Amino acid sequence: MEFQYAFKRSSTVDNGPGRTALSFSPDTRRAPTFFSGELRKGIAFREAISALHDVVVSDLRFKPRDKSEYKAWAAKQEAIDWDQIAAQRAGVARQMKTLQERLSALYRESSARRAPLERAKRAYFDYLYEKDRDAWFVLDPVITVHPDEIFFECFSQDESSYGRLGASYEVFRNIGEFACGTTNIDYSSALYDEFQKIRSYKTTKFEVDPSGFDVQTTGEEAFKEVKIDLPDSWVRGFLQVNSAMGLPARTFDLHPMDVHNLCFVLRRHKEKKGPRSMRYCLTPGQPVRVVFDPWGIEVVCRRSEYRGAQAEELRIWGRRRLHILERLIPIAEKFTVHLLGQGLPSFYVADLGDMTFTLGLSGWTANDWSKAGNFDLLAPRAEVDDFTRQRVFDGLKERWLDTPDGLVTRLGIPRAAVLGALGAYTQAGRAMFDLAKGVYRVRELARDPLPMDKLRFSNPREESATRLLSRNAVQSSARALPDGGIELSGSVKDGSHTHQTSLTIDADARITRAECECNYFQQNKLFKGPCEHILALRMHDARRRPVVLAS
């Protein structure tokens, strides 16, 4: 999928003995979005933005060694006449000795004249190094300005880790005018090095340059046109993350030193065989315990008590991605962990005072967000008409952020319709759920509407569920739960088999539990989203009880 950007100039850094100015150049093709201010908490911001960079360059996929060059070299070695080579080497050695003596004399005579050449060589290799790093380390330039904070979002190279840094306006001082919105910024890998130069004794100005939207006039340099071909999986994964963040989870807090102990165990040990998992043992009223397999090492988080309702043991894979959090430990007040379930995604929200850092991890490293997880199918999916959806989005954009209950109160629309509309806009890349503050935010991932024919979350299982409904193959019954949820049970006739299916939907219209007799569910549970029979049961109930809008 090709995205086109137009930058008036490159992002610039002006370093001085007592002042640093960081100026980002925004995409001029998008609605004006700008911000300027001086960093009041420069050191904390430096560490947080560096952790975001660690997310970007993270790539833990297995990379087999390429032995083709070695095999070609070995084949040539077998055909060599070593006696002839020895004679040639002796002659070459005599010639080299003579040439080295002449070169040494020339070098001593022309050292002054060689200085410009050496400087040019050094600049050339520095250029190659930077170009190579840009080819490998691509920081996804998505930045959003809101009335209460400015936040960055990015995705890892292996598409298994998501990072979000939100900085409230308390992080800045002398804030100038700003315009809310989302834009893509010109952000190269060299800018990461400049962030490392932020110091407490230097004034650092942070700016999303508003002059990037000036009209070009005669004599000015042309806009820099950039075309980035992002894979569909990158965009689809970004949308799946936002759907997963709104799902119910087991939540508890970890003290920063407990996170340090978890990372310390992973630094001191390296597994040579499976299982390579980390088990969270959660007992109400007791400290959180973490067991590392296959060594059986147990870490008791005595500073972190679990306050959930029931005892559970949840296993998480892809644990070495937690090293991304190491840089945040000295500046974090606490880490809030959100576990969706066994082998399902997990989120770690670092409370940095006036900043929050959210790290989202897929079920395991090879289980990237875009291919295996269909978390949108678990999210609220009420059928809402276009007019109501637009009302909800306009109401959200009026304040740029709000809770579902706030929208229900302001707009007078039923909660189910509001949740369905928010889910639809989240899946279209136009809104996102802020896990740290529990609110929905407007965030236009792209300037133009995304091609949902390529990125549509619907999959063959959802299409099969629709066919089952059209054939009247679903029978269901519903039971209201005390907490406002619904428990559904019924049968789905699929060909010659009839599958008994049940699921629980919470008060926010999200699937929290499901069971089915089919082979797909028995093999995958909910790790890859619900099967077509669970979806058909849910869709059948939704059609029996459509959303009724307030007059």
Give the predicted TM-score (pTM) of the model. 0.73
Q: Are 321 and 58 in contact (CB under 8 A)?
A: yes
11 by DSSP, 3-state: which? coil
Interatomic CA distance for residues 391 and 126, integer angstroms: 53
Residue 120 is encoded by which pair of tokens? 């040019």
> Backbone phi, then psi, for 208, in 5-degree steps?
-95, 105
- For every one of its 551 residues, what pLDDT tens digit does the chain have, with 9 covering 90 and above? 444 544 455 555 566 666 666 665 555 556 677 888 888 888 899 899 889 888 888 877 666 777 788 888 888 777 777 777 788 888 888 888 888 888 888 777 776 676 776 677 566 555 544 554 443 344 456 889 999 999 988 888 777 889 999 999 999 988 888 888 887 665 566 677 777 888 888 888 888 766 543 333 333 344 444 444 455 666 777 777 877 888 888 999 999 999 999 999 999 998 888 788 899 999 999 999 999 999 999 999 999 999 988 999 998 888 999 999 999 999 999 999 999 888 788 999 999 999 999 999 987 776 555 554 566 566 666 667 888 889 999 999 999 999 999 999 999 998 888 988 888 888 788 888 999 999 999 998 776 666 554 444 446 777 788 888 888 889 888 888 888 888 999 999 988 889 999 999 887 677 888 999 999 898 888 877 788 899 888 888 877 665 444 43
DSSP per-residue letters across 321-381: GGGGGGGGGGG-SEEEEEE-STTS-EEEEEE-SSEEEEEEE-SSTTS-TTTT--GGGTS--
Interatomic CA distance for residues 101 and 354, integer angstroms: 66
Residue 549 is encoded by which pair of tokens? 């809008």
Interatomic CA distance for residues 173 and 38, integer angstroms: 5
Which of the 8 DSSP states describes residue 377? G
Asked whether this chain's domains 2-58+138-215 and 460-544 adopt the same fold, the reply is no
Parallel/antiparallel/unpaired status of strands 181-186 and 19-26: antiparallel
Interatomic CA distance for residues 289 and 300, integer angstroms: 5
> What is the fold, at CATH topology level, of the domain defined by 2-58+138-215?
DNA Polymerase III; Chain A, domain 2 (3.10.150)
Taking domain 386-445, whether its CATH number is 1.10.10.10 is answered by yes
In the chain, what are the helix, strand and coil shares in percent, each to the nearest 5? 35, 30, 35
> What is the fold, at CATH topology level, of the domain defined by 460-544?
Nuclear Transport Factor 2; Chain: A, (3.10.450)
Select 239-374's CATH number: 3.40.50.300, 3.70.10.10, 3.30.70.360, 3.40.50.970. Answer: 3.70.10.10
Buried b (16+ CB within 10 A) or exposed e, 350-376: bbbebbbbbbbbbbbbebbbbebbbbb
Helix (H) or strand (E) holding 102: helix 82-109
According to DSSP, the residues that pair with 277 across neighbouring strands are 317
Look at the chain and count its residues: 551
C-alpha distance across the termini of the chain, in Å: 42
Interatomic CA distance for residues 299 and 322, integer angstroms: 15
Cα 477 to Cα 185, 192, 429, 515, 535: the distances in Å are 52, 57, 34, 15, 15
* Domain regions of the chain by residue span: 2-58+138-215, 239-374, 386-445, 460-544
